[in-house]
Amino acid sequence: MPAPLLLAIVLAVSPDVSAQRRPAAPAAPFKTSLTLAEMSHKQAVVATSKGTFVIDLLPEAAPNHVGYFIKLARDGAYNGTTFHRAIRMGIIQGGDPLSRDPAKKDLYGTGGLGILNAELNATPLARGAVAAVLQPGKLNSAGAQFFIAVTDQLALTGQFTVFGRVADGMEIVQQISEAPVDAEARVSERIEMASVTIRDAPPPDAVPFASATPEEMAAYHVVLETSKGDITLAFRPDKAPEHVRNFLRLAQSGAYDGTTFHRVVRGFVIQGGMMLPRATRLTQKQQSYVHNLQPEFNDILHVAGTLSMARLDDPASASTSFFICTAPAPSLDGKYTAFGQVIAGMEVVQAIEAVAVQDDTPTQKIEVRRVRVEKQ
Please report, for the domain that includes residue 187, its CATH number.
2.40.100.10
Residue 365 in 3-state DSSP? coil
Q: Is the pLDDT of residue 14 over 50?
A: no
Q: What is the tens place of the pLDDT at every residue in 27-36? A: 589 999 999 9
Q: Same structural domain for residues 226 and 175?
A: no
Q: Same structural domain for residues 161 and 12?
A: yes
d(CA 149, CA 10): 10
Look at residue 205 and tell me if it is in a domain: no
Q: Same structural domain for residues 285 and 316?
A: yes
d(CA 267, CA 328): 8
Residue 68 in 3-state DSSP? helix
| Structural domain total, the chain | 2
Closest CA to 179 of 80, 51, 7: 51
d(CA 161, CA 224): 46
d(CA 262, CA 212): 31
Q: Same structural domain for residues 28 and 165?
A: yes
Residue 170 has what pLDDT? 96
Q: Is the pLDDT of residue 1 over 80?
A: no
What's the whole-number mean pLDDT along residues 51-59?
98
What's the whole-number mean pLDDT along residues 106-131?
97
Q: What is the tens place of the pLDDT at every residue in 241-277? A: 999 999 999 999 999 999 999 999 999 999 999 998 7
Band (12; pLDDT cuts 50, 70, 90) = low
Q: Is the pLDDT of residue 223 over 50?
A: yes
Range of the domain at 329: 214-375
Q: Is the pLDDT of residue 196 over 80?
A: yes
Look at residue 206 and tell me if it is in a domain: no
Q: Same structural domain for residues 191 and 227?
A: no
The mean predicted confidence, pLDDT, of the chain is 93
d(CA 17, CA 110): 8
Q: Is the pLDDT of residue 20 over 50?
A: no
Q: Final residue of a domain: which of 142, 167, 200? A: 200
Q: Final residue of a domain: which of 142, 170, 200? A: 200
Q: Same structural domain for residues 133 and 236?
A: no
Look at residue 207 and tell me if it is in a domain: no
Q: Is the pLDDT of residue 24 over 60?
A: no
Q: Same structural domain for residues 221 and 129?
A: no
Which of the pair, 22 or 194, is modelled with greater confidence?
194
pLDDT more than 70, % of the chain: 93
d(CA 261, CA 273): 7
Q: Same structural domain for residues 173 and 279?
A: no
What's the whole-number mean pLDDT along residues 304-319?
97
Look at residue 133 and tell me if it is in a domain: yes
Residue 13 has what pLDDT? 52
Q: What is the tens place of the pLDDT at every residue in 321-336? A: 999 999 999 999 999 9
Q: Same structural domain for residues 8 and 144?
A: yes
Asked if residue 110 lies in contact with residue 18, where contact means CB atoms within 8 angstroms, the answer is yes
Residue 10 has what pLDDT? 58
Q: Is the pLDDT of residue 17 over 90?
A: no
Residue 11 has what pLDDT? 59
Q: Final residue of a domain: which of 200, 235, 252? A: 200
Residue 278 has what pLDDT? 82
Residue 225 in 3-state DSSP? strand
Residue 18 has what pLDDT? 40
What's the whole-number mean pLDDT along residues 119-139?
96
Q: Same structural domain for residues 154 and 194?
A: yes
Look at residue 209 and tell me if it is in a domain: no
Look at residue 218 and tell me if it is in a domain: yes
Which value, in Å, is the radius of gyration of the alpha carbons in the chain?
A: 25
What's the whole-number mean pLDDT along residues 99-107?
96
Band (6; pLDDT cuts 50, 70, 90) = low
Band (7; pLDDT cuts 50, 70, 90) = low
Residue 205 has what pLDDT? 86
Q: Same structural domain for residues 51 and 181?
A: yes
Q: Same structural domain for residues 146 and 88?
A: yes
Which amino acid type is present at position 185?
Answer: A
Look at residue 155 and tell me if it is in a domain: yes
